[in-house]
Every structure is written in structure tokens, then in C-alpha cells.
Structure 1
Amino acid sequence: MKSQANFSLKSCNSFSFESVTSCIYFPESLDDLRQLSSLTNEPFYILGEGSNTLFLAEKAPVIIQPKFMGTSVDECDDAYLVSAGSAENWHQLVTYCVQKGYAGLENLALIPGSVGAAPIQNIGAYGVELSDVIEHVNWYEFATQTLHQLSHEQCQFGYRDSVFKREKRDKGIITQVCLKLPKAWQANISYQGLDSLSAEATPEQVYQRVIEVRQAKLPDPKVKPNAGSFFKNPVVSQQTYQQLVKHYPTMPAYQQSTTQVKLAAGWLIEQAGLKGIKQNGVGVHDKQALVLVNHGEGTGAAIYELARNINQQVFSKFGVSLQPEVRIVSASGLIIKDGFNG
């Protein structure tokens, strides 16, 4: 198995923060994965493309970066089954499917990261979540050295959540993802920004419009290092929402069920007067308050402190806590916290 000691991760995280791991491993076969079993007794972190990772310090834990590649398509009566290795680039897979006429992923265009990271986070955008099209996930379990095929139900998807962030966290590696893209397709253009398209819009048109909207809103990480949306959109009770909307009648909200409502984290941050602020070499993007950026001289610790301050001020104004969407990594591995409390 390929590996490298004292490896700089600066080019492996989209915040472009310097962090060094004592060793990084690049498994690309089941034999390689079997060799990793002895490593899981020490702090480690499984890294995709680093587009959703914040390294807090200059020292990182042992890194495992899977390199499973390849894409294949099987056709059945009512759908196309698209299988892709976990190291494939997500946007390139979306582009491939749109070009080949396999519709269903176009709303998820230009989301950075790898295919293997997508189900962990249950990525979503513009009214579509990955869980809408997942057929199954191939997952290698360290303890049993066994490759499992996990069904959609076994993945236990939720809003930016899955079993891979809970019971199966750090217990294995996703090697391949299989997507079921129905032949009976209808454009999903209900989300703001896409509603200018006609009901007869093609997958290609939806794909191009999504790219235009994302590029207009979100900074290019190569120009302004960032990890996209830093915070999840908070989900509150219907009662909490009713209390808030009395004071803030223009507050954007999305009904999730009869008892829960999703709020727009970016709107909350902007209303707290934090859009565009800068401190300690980092800041809040001036066009999209959900995005925290490295202005070139910042650190992971500075981003984390900024995020904590944002959460405190939003909670002070609205009584709503924000939770990070970005995965936060210290020298001891992934930090799991409920918001920024404690």
C-alpha cells in the first residue's frame, strides 16, 4: 500500500491551512484495507478531498485517504444504476451522468468533494438530497475485515446525517456508492434560484443553472480558501418558529413536518450583523454568510473561534443554536460536538 511520512495536508484541505500528519495511507484495494486494521488503535482520520474538513492545528492525526476509482453503469427497465468508486470526484460524476443522459443528479452539481464523502454527509442542494437516489453503499468494516453492501435503509439517512456519522463512524471505509437514477424524470426547480426555469427544462439546463447560481453565491476555494457552507440550517420546533416569526415576519423557513421547521442559517448570521466581518486573518464571506473564508493569514483555530462567536451571537439574538456542517479535526482525530457548546 502506498503511504508517505510527514505529509503536508495544506493542499488536501480547501481552507488551505497547514497541517502535517506523521503518515498518510492511500488504500486502493481490499488487501490494502486489511493492512489498516492495526492502525485503528491510534488517532486517525479518513479524508476525502478535504472540502469539508477543518484542521485545527499544525499537527494532524494519521490520515487514511482512500483511492478507490472507477465508474460503471447498469441499465434496468425503469432506471440506470450508476456505481462509482469512493475517490471519484463528485461534480465530475454529476457531469458525466448529465452528459450521458442519466438524470437525477443535476441539482447537486458543483458540490465539492469525493463520491465516498457524499453519503456520509448526505449532501444536498436546491431541493434534492443524495438519499433521494442512493441504491446502496459498499462499506469495508475494520473489525471483521469484511466488505458489506448497505441498503438505503441501512444507511439511516437524515438531514446532513447518516449512520456513517454515528454508529459506523471510524469503524470502516466506504469503497463504492451505487445510485439509482429513474428514467421517469421531472425537473426539480421549486427552489429559489431555479424557479426561473420552465417546467420543461432539461437536465442539462437545470445543471447549468445550478452551476450559475452556486458560482454567483459561493467563493471559489482556489481564490478564497473555504469549505462551503460551514453551518447546517437549524431545524426548530413549530412552536419556536411561530414565536420567532412574530418578531421577524420575513424570516425564511421551510416546513419539514407538522412539528419541525428548517431555518436559513445564513439569514440568521446576516441578521446578527456578521456578514463580511474579518478577524485574525479569517472572516465571513461578504456574499454568503454561511461561508467562512481564510483570507490568507488565518489558522484553523481562528476559523473555529470565529464560528463559536457566530454561534453565540446568533443564539443571543434568536435563541437558536448553530451546528457545524464542516468536520473539525484535531491532532486526536475528529471532534464531535453538539454545536459549539462546551
Structure 2
Amino acid sequence: MGGYTLIENASLVSRNTLRVDARAKLLAEIRDAARLPELLDFPAVREGRLLVLGEGSNLLFTGDFDGTVLAMHTRGVHVEQDGDVARIAVAAGERWDDFVRWTLGQGYAGLENLILIPGTVGAAPIQNIGAYGTEVAEFIESVEAWDTREGRVATLGRAACAFGYRDSVFKREPGRYIVTAVRFALPRTHELKLDYAGIREELARMGVDRPAPFHVAEAVVHLRTRKLPDPAVIGNAGSFFKNPLVDAATGEALRRAHPELVAWPGADGRWKLSAAWLIEAAGFKGLREGDAGISNRHALVLVNHGHASGPQLWALARRVIDGVIAMFGVRLEPEPVVIGTD
């Protein structure tokens, strides 16, 4: 069938980086975004639940999915040069890390701190992915999506995307938008962000005193590789917990009670707390229950040591959430989407 393929009772074990053995009632693989309205009009698709899937690097299945999983396999990168800024339209199915590396090879700046994040380009605005002091929202000009409510293609500018910390309109209105392409505005030169999580120290270790974007990217790759387990080696979805935001009074009280607390005061008066520090201080780093575990390399990472089920992984995550509440009075929220829970 041109443009897309339909598979019944499809295994999803190789389509999520936590390697949970879940199944989908119907799997639709789409290679041409223009065929999306036709696909969505199939009775089996139209009448059931719909889940859009990139590389499955930001979700946890706690059971089978009784509906259609839509896997975006679209490809394409189109560049328009506007002085020193490149406006780049990228198909949702392109791999994020491949795109970042391509931009660096072309001499564009901005995305270097976001290298080695798993997933697709289409997933990036949904989560407003961020790492090492950079959020992707800063470089997104617009997002093209199929609006399932209106039954039309919609182009949302940056303001309409309503980006927040690991948040966007796409996340707040789940099921409404299917991202088909993202348009970036990337400069040739950009002020490098070096003051986060050891980047300057890593550059010094590399012997780089006048860094370019590709040097920063290399430093981030070194840091991520040392700290985070590789999904190709052990099942994981990267950082499983968000850094919690608390009001200033709460942040100050926690710092008085725990002087070693890692936290960053924000411009809006709130404090961002290190979820990794909270989890490690609560004694969960390296914990293993059966094949479900918390990485001994980074306390933010929930790992599947082999054959952990979705419910087993979620039970351990809930244990961590409850333990941090009991010790610090702070509730952690999962960063990935948890499919199958209320």
C-alpha cells in the first residue's frame, strides 16, 4: 500500500527503548505524511485509540495497546538560507541525533548541547527536549501537524506551541496533533552554553580553549556516554524523572535542611531541584528488583536488565516517587509518557 503499511497484532518490543514486550492491536507505519488523512479514515483506525510513535524512547508501556500505533517513518530535510540563518524543514520521522550531527557538519550552531538524545525530530517539540542548558524550543520556528480535531494541516508558530519545561501544547492536548514536520531557524554563530554539568571541565580535559559548536557536541557526547547507559546495551528511556520545580520558600527550606542539595534558582523565582540528587539521597541509585532497576551510573535512569514487564518497571518508578516524597516532601513526575495507567 503506497505511503503506509498496516500490521495487525504487532509486537512493540523492538519499538520502545525500555524493551517492554507489549503489543498493538494495529501498527501503521507511514512513510508519506500526505497519506495521513486517508490512513486516519480507515474504520479500524478512526474508531479506536491512536498513539503516535517515533523511536519509542520517551514512553513506558504498562500493558498492550488496544488501538492503532502510528509509527512515523517519513524522511526529508529542506534548507532555505536567509543570511546567516538557515531555515530547515525536517520530516518528523528523521532521527534526532542524525539531524543534530548533520547541522554541525553543515556549520550551523545551536543544537550542539542536544546531541545524542534518542528519538525522532517529530518528538522533539512535544517534549520540548532539553539537555545541558539548552531547550529545543529556542530554535524552533514552527511545527507542522495534522490537527485531528479540525481535520486539516496546521502550522503552529513558536508562541502557539506554548513551550514550557518538558512541555508544549502538543503534550497538553494529547491526541489532537500529529507532528509531521518541524521548521528550525539555526544561525552560523551562536553564544555557546558552557556553564552546565561539567561542559567547561570536559572541554579543558579535551585541551580545547576556544571551543566551536562541534567541540561542545563532542564534550556532551563524552559526558552523556560516561553518565547514561546506552539503550542499545541495556533497556532504558534516558532520564525517567523530571527535575521538579518548587517555589522559592520550599527551595530555601530544603537547602537549609539539606545544605548539599543540588538546585538552581530560576528567573521566575522558582527553584529547579536535581531529581538525580533527590533519588540518590533517598537511597535508590543502583536499586534492582528482579529485572527492573535504577541505573548505578545515573539515578534518573530507569533500566530493564532483561525481561522486566511494564508493570514491574512502573512499580519501581512509583516506589522511587513515594520514597522521595517521604524524605523530602517533593513529588517527582515521570518524563516519559506512561501508556496504560490512569
Shorter-chain TM range is over 0.9
| Alignment size in residue pairs | 331
2:283 maps to which of 261, 264, 273:
273
Whether contact under 8 Å (1:232, 1:324) holds in the other structure is: yes
Q: Which runs of 5+ in 2 are unaligned?
A: none
Q: Cα gap change, 1:59/1:121 in structure 2, threshold over 3 Å: closer, same or farther?
A: closer
Alignment map for 1:136-215 (pairs within 5 Å) = 136-167=142-173, 169-196=174-201, 197=203, 200-215=210-225
Q: Distance in 1 between matches of 2:194 and 2:169?
A: 29
Whether contact under 8 Å (1:139, 1:148) holds in the other structure is: yes
- Residue 256 of structure 1: how far off its partner (Å): 1.6
- Residue 60 of structure 1: how far off its partner (Å): 4.9
Tell me the secondary structure at the aligned position of residue 330 of structure 2. coil
Whether contact under 8 Å (2:49, 2:66) holds in the other structure is: no
Counterpart code for 2:132: Y
1:30 lines up with 2:40 in the alignment: no
- Residue 32 of structure 1: how far off its partner (Å): 3.1
1:6 lines up with 2:9 in the alignment: yes
Alignment map for 1:119-130 (pairs within 5 Å) = 119-130=125-136
Counterpart code for 1:72: H
Per-residue deviation, residues 168-218 of structure 1 (Å, max 9, x unmatched): x20131100011112331221111220223663011100111001000000
Q: Distance in 2 between matches of 1:94 and 1:320?
A: 34
1:323 lines up with 2:329 in the alignment: no
Whether contact under 8 Å (1:103, 1:183) holds in the other structure is: yes
Q: Which runs of 5+ in 1 are unaligned?
A: 337-342
Tell me the secondary structure at the aligned position of residue 195 of structure 1. helix
Tell me the secondary structure at the aligned position of residue 132 of structure 1. helix
- Residue 22 of structure 1: how far off its partner (Å): 1.5
Whether contact under 8 Å (1:68, 1:86) holds in the other structure is: yes
- Residue 297 of structure 1: how far off its partner (Å): 2.3
Whether contact under 8 Å (1:87, 1:115) holds in the other structure is: yes
Q: Distance in 1 between matches of 2:325 and 2:278?
A: 9
Q: Distance in 2 between matches of 1:29 and 1:203?
A: 32
2:312 maps to which of 291, 302, 306:
302
- Residue 33 of structure 1: how far off its partner (Å): 2.9
- Residue 72 of structure 1: how far off its partner (Å): 1.5
Q: TM-score, normalised by structure 2?
A: 0.93
Tell me the secondary structure at the aligned position of residue 303 of structure 2. strand
Q: TM-score, normalised by structure 1?
A: 0.93
Tell me the secondary structure at the aligned position of residue 302 of structure 2. strand
Q: Cα gap change, 1:199/1:256 in structure 2, threshold over 3 Å: closer, same or farther?
A: farther
Residue 85 of structure 1 is matched in structure 2 by 91
Whether contact under 8 Å (1:6, 1:20) holds in the other structure is: yes
Tell which deviates more after alignment, 118-127 or 295-304.
295-304
Residue 122 of structure 2 is matched in structure 1 by 116
Whether contact under 8 Å (2:20, 2:307) holds in the other structure is: no
Q: Distance in 1 between matches of 2:66 and 2:222?
A: 35
Tell me the secondary structure at the aligned position of residue 18 of structure 2. coil
Per-residue deviation, residues 42-88 of structure 1 (Å, max 9, x unmatched): 22211111011111124553201122210111110241112110000
Q: Distance in 1 between matches of 2:148 and 2:20?
A: 30
Residue 21 of structure 1 is matched in structure 2 by 24
Q: Cα gap change, 1:59/1:177 in structure 2, threshold over 3 Å: closer, same or farther?
A: closer
Tell me the secondary structure at the aligned position of residue 74 of structure 1. strand
Tell me the secondary structure at the aligned position of residue 200 of structure 2. coil
Residue 322 of structure 2 is matched in structure 1 by 312
Tell me the secondary structure at the aligned position of residue 245 of structure 1. helix
Whether contact under 8 Å (1:189, 1:199) holds in the other structure is: no
- Residue 108 of structure 1: how far off its partner (Å): 0.1
Counterpart code for 2:35: D
Q: Distance in 2 between matches of 1:260 and 1:223?
A: 37
1:134 maps to which of 140, 155, 160:
140
Q: Distance in 2 between matches of 1:144 and 1:244?
A: 46
Tell me the secondary structure at the aligned position of residue 199 of structure 2. coil
Percent identity, aligned pairs only, is 38
